[in-house]
Structure 1
Amino acid sequence: MSRRLPTIHHVSEQDAGPYRMERLDLEFGNGERRQYQRLHSRGHGAVIVVPLLDADTVLLVREYAAGTHRYELGLVEGRIDAGEAPLHAANRELQEEAGYAARSLQLLRMLTLSPRYMSHQAHVVVARDLYPQRLPGDEPEELEVVPWKLHALHELALREDFSEGRSLAALFITREWLQHGNG
């Protein structure tokens, strides 16, 4: 069923650090009015990089996660700088976080993070034909690089120290993409 988007009658804003909090006064097609809140990202988007060392090995990084106050395994991730293309940002982040660059980069799709109340989107990029190349990054310590076999993704998905949903989704999407002849 296709529905007409609600009419936005008014938007009020307030500062929320790296985001802008918006309060929307909405009217739905059936006449109901509601107030919704959303966080609007101030940046230029983000990348989630799936670095493939070979056809069945992905490189993960172990990094301190302030939100959970522990070290987490995950994919290379980062912000897209102003004026930077997503594929360039992916290759830069790969060099900063994992110490590799890629000769081949493929944009698979966009992922959202809580789209019901956030505008944040991230580009999922598969990086292949890797070679050692390090750029200085903004991390306070060098990240541990952990190779992981895609055929053991079911084990990774159940680890306590691998809880970031976008990394998990990107790995499953990449595995399916590779298995169905797109890789």
Structure 2
Amino acid sequence: MPEKPTILQRQTVAQSRLFRAEQLDLRFSNGVERRYEKLCSGGPGAVLMVPMLDPNTVLMVREYAGGLEDYHLSLPKGAMDKGETPEQSANRELKEEVGYGASKLDYLKCLHLSPSYMEHKIHVLLARDLYPERLAGDEPEPLEIVPCNIDDLLALTMRDDVIEGRTIAALFMARAWLARHG
């Protein structure tokens, strides 16, 4: 593995309520210097859950996405609160977004979104043995809960309204995990 570049300078170049951008001046081991910019994470990360109502039914949510300026179908997700484990965050977010808690949470993987220029990470968890429980959430409008059949995963992920890469990756990981571990 190559030697990590030396950080010559680091500075914040932009900041908003949600984002902070940093500029990094780097020197690589071969002497080449480059300037990188990256979006910095503002907290401990986020969680994305694959809630299985039964062995074949995954609960998805239809919600508005500002980046798309439209609605799309995705898995429930949310920011981790300071001091929470991924499992605690996942159970809280499930209750807020889909009205269920999970008796079983299986940690699948930590994904990084565009690691070339973002620090953002999201923990993917499989949620099973669901039970009804609702907590108040922070969504601006009620989310539509959409039960989907995971058996034909290719058809599900090829739908025009299923476009988020994290959701698609998590669905495939969950289905493979379930096939192996039941």
For 1:34 and 1:78, how far apart are their aligned partners in 2? Answer: 34
Does residue 30 (structure 1) correspond to residue 30 (structure 2)? The answer is: yes
Q: 1:16 Cα shift?
A: 2.4
The SS at the match of 1:90 is helix
Q: 1:75 Cα shift?
A: 0.3
Q: Which residue of 1 aligns with 2:124?
A: 124
Q: Residue 127 of structure 1 aligns to which amino acid in structure 2?
A: A
For 1:167 and 1:16, how far apart are their aligned partners in 2? Answer: 28
Report sequence identity in percent.
51
Q: 1:14 Cα shift?
A: 2.9
TM-score, reference length from structure 1: 0.95
Q: Which residue of 1 aligns with 2:58?
A: 58
Deviates more, 1:46-55 or 1:8-17: 8-17
For 2:75 and 2:19, how far apart are their aligned partners in 1? Answer: 23
Q: Which residue of 2 aligns with 1:86?
A: 86
Q: Which residue of 2 aligns with 1:14?
A: 13
Q: 1:106 Cα shift?
A: 1.2
The SS at the match of 2:152 is helix
1:22-171 alignment, distance < 5 Å: 22-171=22-171
The SS at the match of 1:126 is strand
Q: 1:27 Cα shift?
A: 0.8
Q: 1:182 Cα shift?
A: 2.9
Q: 1:58 Cα shift?
A: 0.7
Deviates more, 1:166-175 or 1:147-156: 147-156
Q: 1:96 Cα shift?
A: 0.6
Q: Which residue of 2 aligns with 1:5?
A: 4
For 1:51 and 1:85, how far apart are their aligned partners in 2? Answer: 18
Q: Residue 94 of structure 2 aligns to which amino acid in structure 1?
A: L
Q: 1:167 Cα shift?
A: 0.7
5+ residue gaps, structure 2, are none
Q: 1:112 Cα shift?
A: 0.7
> Quick check: 2:150–2:156 contact (8 Å CA) kept in 1?
no
For 2:96 and 2:151, how far apart are their aligned partners in 1? Answer: 27
Q: 1:123 Cα shift?
A: 0.3
Query: Displaced runs of 4+ in structure 1, greater than 3 A?
Result: none
- Cα deviation code 1:75-121 (max 9, x no counterpart): 00000011111111101110111011111111111011110000000
5+ residue gaps, structure 1, are none
Q: 1:54 Cα shift?
A: 1.4
User: How many residues matched?
Assistant: 181
Q: 1:165 Cα shift?
A: 0.8
For 1:14 and 1:46, how far apart are their aligned partners in 2? Answer: 24
For 1:22 and 1:142, how far apart are their aligned partners in 2? Answer: 35
